[in-house]
Amino acid sequence: MSETLTLRRPDDWHLHLRDGAMLAAVLPETARHFARAIIMPNLVPPVVRGADAAAYRDRIMAALPEGMAFEPLMTLYLTEDTDADDVAAAHASGLVKAVKLYPAGATTNSASGVANFDKVRGVLERMADIGLPLCVHGEVTDADIDIFDREAVFIDRVLDPIRQNTPGLRVVMEHITTSVAADYVRSATENLGATITTHHLVINRNHILAGGIKPHYYCLPVAKRETHRLALVAAATSGDSRFFLGTDSAPHTDANKLLPCGCAGCFTATNTVSILAEVFERADALDRLEAFTSLNGPAFYRLPVNADSITLTKGRPVSYPKKIATGDGDVTVFDPGFDLHWHVA
């Protein structure tokens, strides 16, 4: 007799959909299992103003296949020229659910990000006043800071001062990768949460580098030591409401991933739910999977949980396509490196 597990329909609190032909191809991969997602604004040009977010939302909904239900939760890209009044108006309208902070140069399409944090102080203060969350890519970009240390340095040098100087600011530490970040989240009594990606629960830096470079495991923030991966698994499976799923599913064509200077990102939208069920089962925590995927995120964002549900069934290993065809070129689906026995019925 097969085992089943029913969950409130999940949400993805950190998702890249891109635009154009790529958007049309990857959106169904998320909408198949997820009801909502926080949509990252790092397009070219970035989604900076409320009008940009409204136009992008319209393009997303136009690309949604008939018969699928999905709600994009829009964000704005924080720049040193961001208008606090525009941010507040976009939030008041119900369109924008968060603002995303990219340190300049930290990741894909982040050139328009923040270099001088004093220039965004007024925007952050307004966000604290209205309760609008700040989603943070938590890495410094200094060339003299080792890439494996950039998250910890960001917490000390940037994030903690921002939080101390902006009381009431609600912050999501995006795609945390270290025990240091997990402990920092646990140290807060309010206004701080963190997303954890599917791939950071599965891979460590050896998966990227040992035995030859694996471009499809290269992501930013880069995967760290095994001790940090285990710390992330412990946080995700703990049931602690401050941790929730943000896949950071980031489609790049194979041609762009395999360049001498290849793009960072793992495309996990297709098989995330199956992978997470496997990870949580191995941690003897299937009873806490729903909290991570479906309950904790809405609680932080002050949104209702989804009314509908999905049911997973455990059986023989399930196969997923190795690639997704897009109008821009093939995108490789993340390979966890182990069999997946849970699938959405």
The phi and psi torsions of 54 (rounded to 5 degrees) equal -65, -40
The angle formed by the CA atoms of residues 116, 122 and 125, to the nearest 5 degrees, is 115
Cross-strand pairs, 37? 12, 72
Judge contact between 9 and 308, C-beta under 8 A. yes
Collect all residues with Cβ–Cβ distance below 8 Å to 272 and sequence separation of at least 6.
12, 33, 198, 245, 247, 249
- Indicate the residue type of 2: S
Q: Which of the residues are catalytic?
A: 248
Strand partners, 193: 172
Helices assigned H by DSSP within 169-225 = 179-187, 205-209
Between the CA of residue 123 and those of 35, 100, 119, 183, what are the distances in Å? 30, 12, 9, 27
303 exposed, middle or buried (CB, 10 Å; 0-12, 13-18, 19+)? middle
- Amino acid letter at 72? P
The DSSP symbol for 9 reads: P
